[in-house]
Amino acid sequence: MNERNIMDYETVALDDANNALVIIDQTLLPGRTELISLHTAQEIWDAIYLLKVRGAPAIGVAAAFGIYLLAKQIQTDDYAVFYEEFRKQKDYLNSARPTAVNLSWALNRMEQVCVQNQDLPVAEIKDKLKAESILMKEEDIHVCKAIGEYGLTLVKPGDGILTHCNAGQLATCKYGTATAPIYLGQERGYHFRVFADETRPLLQGARLTSYELYSSGVDVTLICDNMSATVMRNGWVNAVFVGCDRVAANGDTANKIGTSVVATVAKRYHVPVYICAPTSTIDMNTPTGADITIEQRPAHEVTDMWYEKPMAPAGVKVFNPAFDVTDHDLIAGIVTEYGIAREPYTESLREIFALKKAGKGICP
C-alpha cells in the first residue's frame, strides 16, 4: 500500500511535456496505487474499456485529454487532412463505452473546437484543444462542488446515507458526484453515517467507495448489495445518493447494475433516492430509459475475476449488463450543478438547461 492517501492523487492528469494522459489504474485499488501514463489511442481506449479510468465525469476529462494528445501527434498543416484524422481518432475513442454519455459529450465538445477554428493554422487549433481540455477538468471540479452544495440541502447532520457503485472522487476530478454532499458534510461536521454497497460484479463500492471514504475519515460501513433492504428496514438510511452514466429526457437514469434494485427497495421503505448528475450526463435526445444502450460485459467478470478458482461451472451462461435503468418514478430528485430537478422531469430538466444557457443558478 502506498503511504500517501488515495485522496492526494489526481484521478486524471495531463502530462503535456511527455505527451501522456496520466491516470490512477483503478483496477489495482485498493491493494496498490499505481499511476500509469497513456500515449497511444489503443492505450487510452483500453484504459476506458477495462475500467482503469471510470466514472462518467472522469471518462469525459480523460477523453478530452486523450483526443488532444492524439491531435497533437497529427503531422500536417492542412486542416482537411488534420480534421479527417481527428475524426478517426475521435470515433475510435468513442467506441470504448456506449452507455456513458460523457464520453461522446466530451469528444463532441473537443470536435467543435476544431470546427469553430478551422480558419486558424493547425498549430493554433491544437493549442485551443489543449486549453479546452484543461477547462473541462476545471469545470468538473466546480460542477461537483455545486452538486455537493445542492445535495447537502436534502439531508441533515447525523443522517444515514446509502450509496451504490463509485461516484466519488475516483470517478471525477474532485469531490465526486454522489459523494460530494458527503465530503462537504464531512468538512462541516455533519457526521454522516454512510453505507456503501459492494457493487457486484466489479466491486467498485468495496474497492473504491469504501476505500476513499474511509481514507477521508468518513464513518463508512461496507455492505453486500443484498443487504440494502435490511439497513433501510432498520431505519439506518435517510437518503440514497447515487451517480449515473446517462439521464434520459423523462428522468429515467442508467447507472451501475443494481441501482434499480436499490431504488425499488428504497421506495418500499420510504427512503428518497437522489441521482447526482452533471448536466453533461443528461441526454435530452434520449426520450426514455428504454432508448439507452446498455453495455454488456465479459462473463469472466462474474465467474472468475475475484477468485483464485472459478466460482461457477465451466460453460454456464452468464448475463452481465454493466448498467440498469432506474425508472423516473423511483427517483425523488436529480441533483445537478444548476439545481434539483423533480417530477415531472420532462419539464424540470428543460428548466435546468434553460438556467444553464442563461448562466444562472450554479452554486459558487
Given the residues 245, 252, 283, 324, select the one marked as catalytic.
Answer: 245
pLDDT at 361: 60
Return mean pLDDT, the chain.
Answer: 96
Grouping H, G, I as helix, E, B as strand and the rest as coil, residue 293 is: coil
**pLDDT (average), residues 145-174:** 97
Q: What are φ and ψ of residue 268, in 5° steps?
A: -60, -35
pLDDT tens column, 3-47 = 679 999 999 999 999 999 999 999 999 999 999 999 999 999 999
Grouping H, G, I as helix, E, B as strand and the rest as coil, residue 210 is: helix
Domain(s) labelled CATH 3.40.50.10470 in the chain stretch across: 154-358
Q: Which CATH superfamily hosts domain 6-143?
A: translation initiation factor eif-2b, domain 1 (1.20.120.420)
pLDDT at 98: 86
pLDDT tens column, 191-241 = 999 999 999 999 999 999 999 999 999 999 999 999 999 999 999 999 999
To the query of whether residue 78 is one of the catalytic residues in this protein, the response is no
Contacts with 345 (C-beta within 8 Å, 6 or more apart), sequence order: 249, 250, 251, 328, 331, 334
Domain boundaries 154-358, CATH class: alpha beta
pLDDT tens column, 294-328 = 999 999 999 999 999 999 999 999 999 999 999 99
Kindly state the cell numbers that stand for 18.
Answer: 511527455
pLDDT over 60 at 363, yes or no: no
pLDDT over 90 at 118, yes or no: yes
Task: Look at the alpha carbons of 294, 295, 299, 300 in this order and tell me if their dihedral is positive or negative.
Answer: negative
Domain(s) labelled CATH 1.20.120.420 in the chain stretch across: 6-143
- The percentage of residues in the chain with a pLDDT greater than 90, rounded to a whole number, is 96
**pLDDT (average), residues 168-197:** 97
Q: Could you list the beta-strand ranges (E) of 3-107.
A: 12-15, 20-24, 35-38
**pLDDT (average), residues 132-146:** 97
Grouping H, G, I as helix, E, B as strand and the rest as coil, residue 295 is: coil
Determine if the peptide bond prior to 344 is cis (ω within 30°).
yes
**8 Å CB contact between 362 and 339:** no
Name the CA dihedral angle for 119, 122, 128, 131, rounded to a multiple of 10 degrees.
180
pLDDT at 1: 40
